[in-house]
Amino acid sequence: MAEHIHTKVLIVGGGPGGYVAAIRCGQLGLDTTMVESDRLGGTCLIRGCIPSKAVIHVAGHFETMMQAAEADGRHGISLASPPKIDFAATVKWKDGVVDKLNGGVTALLKRAKVRVVAGWATFRDGKTCTVATKDGEVTVTGEKVILATGSLPVELPFLKFGGNVISSTEALSLPELPKKLVVIGAGYIGLELGIAFRKLGVAVEVVEATDRILPQYDAQLVAPVAKWLEKHGVVVHLRTKAEGLTEGGKALRVSGPDGTGADLPGDKFLVTVGRKPRTAGWGLETMSVDMAGPFVKVDDQCQTSMKDVWAIGDLVGEPMLEHKAATQGEIVAEIMAGKKRHFRPAAIPAVCFTEPEIVSVGALPGGGANEIVAQFPFSANGRALSMEAGGDGGFVRVVAAKDDHRVLGIQAVGAHIAELAGEFSHALEMGALLEDVAGTIHAHPTLGEAYHEAALRALGHAIHI
C-alpha cells in the first residue's frame, strides 16, 4: 500500500525559496513536508551562483600567477615558469564547496524538523501530489502549499543542449578546459563565465543579438567591462544572430548586422540566453492558478489565485535571484503562521560578477530636473588604488530626489563592489537621505568611502575630487 502523508505545509522545490520557507515553517512550529527531486539547495547552490563564483575565484588566482610569470613579473613577485591548471581538480574543489553547503541545508532542515521526500512531485489537484521516490510512490496532501519549482536555462531550438552545446551547468563541470569557447548571449551569466574562462587561458568569443553587452545595465556601468573584454582579447559580435552549428559541429553559424554569414569555430558552445520558469512536468495545469505570461501570478503576499496556495522565486517572475526567492519564502512561512507580512521591498539588488563587478539597486538616472545624480571614481579611492582597482573606470553613483534628497538608487562598478550591495540596499530600504549617507563615518581605507564621497558630491561638497 502506497504511503500517504498528511501535512500542514507542503512545499515543492528545495531551492533557496523552498528550503528557506521550510526552515522558517519549522521554526514556527508548522508541520512541514518538502519534496525535492534533486539535491537540496536548488540551482543557485548546486549548479549556479555558488559553483560559478568558486570557478571565478580560481580563475582570478590563475590570472595573477600568469602575470607573475611574465618577463617583468608583478609587483616584485615573479615565477620561473607559467602556472598550469588542472581543471578537473578545480571542479573537484568546487564540488567540495557545493557538498558542504548542501550538507548544511540538509542539517538545517533536519534541525527544523522538516520532513524531506526525495522524488519528483506531480500534482493531481491543488493540495495533493504524488511523488515518485526510489522506494515507490508517496502521496502528500498539504493544508497549505508553496510552489517553489524554480527555473531552467532557455534552450534554443537550433542549438539543443548536448555534446559540445552546453549550458552553464555543464560549463561548471567540464573534465578539462576547451581551447576555444563560443558564448551565445552576453548577459550576466554568459559574461561571468566567459571572463572566467578567458582568465584560465581559454580563447573566448561572444555572440549577442542586441547592440550591447549586459543590456540590463546602462552603458556607463557596462563600459569598464567592455574595456576589460577588449584588453584581454575577448571578441564580441554585437547585433549578430546564432543560427546553429555547421554540419560537422565544429563551428557556430552566425549572421551579422549586414546579413552576411560567418562560421565561428569552437570546442564548446555555451548557450546563455536566459532562464525560464519551471512550469511543466509537475502538474501545474491541474491547479486553478492564474498566470502572468509564463509566470505564476501572485499578489504582494505571494498568494496565487487559489486559496492556501502560494508561489515564490523564479516561478513568479523577474528578477530571478536567490535573495528574492529566499525573502519570499520567509515571508510566506510567517503569513502561514498568522503574521502580517507583505513582499514590498524598496529595491532588490542585482549583482554581476564580471570583471569588474557591477551592482545596481533601485532607480537608474533618468528623472531629469527632478533628480540629483553624482558619482565618485575609484581612481580617487585609496583602497581601490592599493589593490589595482582604480584604473579600470570603476565608480559609485548615487541617484536622489532633488526636493527632499531621498536616495532613490545606487549603482557601482569596480573590483569587489558586490560586497557593498547590502549597504546600498539598506539605505534604500530605510529611506535614507543624502545627508544620512554623508553623515555616516565610513572606515578608511575601504571601497565604501567612494559611496560616502558620491553622497557628498551630490550635496555639492565632495572632499577628494
pLDDT, tens digit (0-9, with 9 covering 90-100), for 59-98: 999 999 999 998 787 888 999 999 999 999 999 999 999 9
What is the pLDDT at residue 73?
A: 77
How, if at all, do strands 203-207 and 165-166 pair?
A: unpaired
The one-letter code for the residue type at 91 is V
**CA pair distance 52, 42, nearest whole angstrom:** 14
- pLDDT tens digits, residue range 417-430? 999 999 999 999 99
Average pLDDT over residues 234-244: 97
**CA pair distance 285, 291, nearest whole angstrom:** 11
Determine the Cα angle at 143 with ends 142 and 148, to 5°.
55
Query: Any residues with CB less than 8 A from the CB of 97 and at least 6 apart, and which?
Result: 50, 51, 54
**Which residue intervals of the chain bear CATH 3.50.50.60?**
3-54+88-152+276-336, 165-273
What topology does CATH give the domain 165-273?
FAD/NAD(P)-binding domain (3.50.50)
What is the pLDDT at residue 230?
A: 97
pLDDT above 70 for 1: no
What is the pLDDT at residue 194?
A: 98
- pLDDT tens digits, residue range 311-356? 999 999 999 999 999 999 999 999 999 999 999 999 999 999 999 9
The DSSP H or E segment spanning 36 is strand 32-36
The answer to whether the CB of 158 falls within 8 A of the CB of 23 is no
Give the gyration radius of the chain's Cα atoms. 24
**CA pair distance 48, 99, nearest whole angstrom:** 14
The answer to whether the CB of 164 falls within 8 A of the CB of 188 is no
What is the pLDDT at residue 413?
A: 98
**Which residue intervals of the chain bear CATH 3.30.390.30?**
350-458
Q: Which residues are catalytic?
A: 444
- pLDDT tens digits, residue range 375-421? 999 999 999 999 999 999 999 999 999 999 999 999 999 999 999 99
409 alpha carbon, distance to own chain's centre? 20
Q: Count other Cβ atoms within 10 Å, centred on residue 69.
A: 16
Q: Give the start-end residues of each E strand in 56-135.
A: 115-118, 120-123, 128-133
What is the pLDDT at residue 60?
A: 96
**CA pair distance 203, 180, nearest whole angstrom:** 5
Where helices occur in 289-429 by DSSP H, the ranges are 322-336, 382-386, 421-429
Residues above pLDDT 90, as percent of the chain: 95
In the chain, the N- to C-terminal Cα span, in Å, equals: 76
CATH top class, domain 3-54+88-152+276-336 = alpha beta
- Give the strand order in the sheet containing 371-377: 350-352, 357-362, 407-414, 395-401, 371-377
Q: Is the peptide bond before 157 cis (omega within 30 degrees of 0)?
A: no
What is the pLDDT at residue 259?
A: 84
Average pLDDT of the residues of the chain: 96
**CA pair distance 393, 179, nearest whole angstrom:** 30
CATH code given to domain 350-458: 3.30.390.30
What is the pLDDT at residue 27?
A: 98
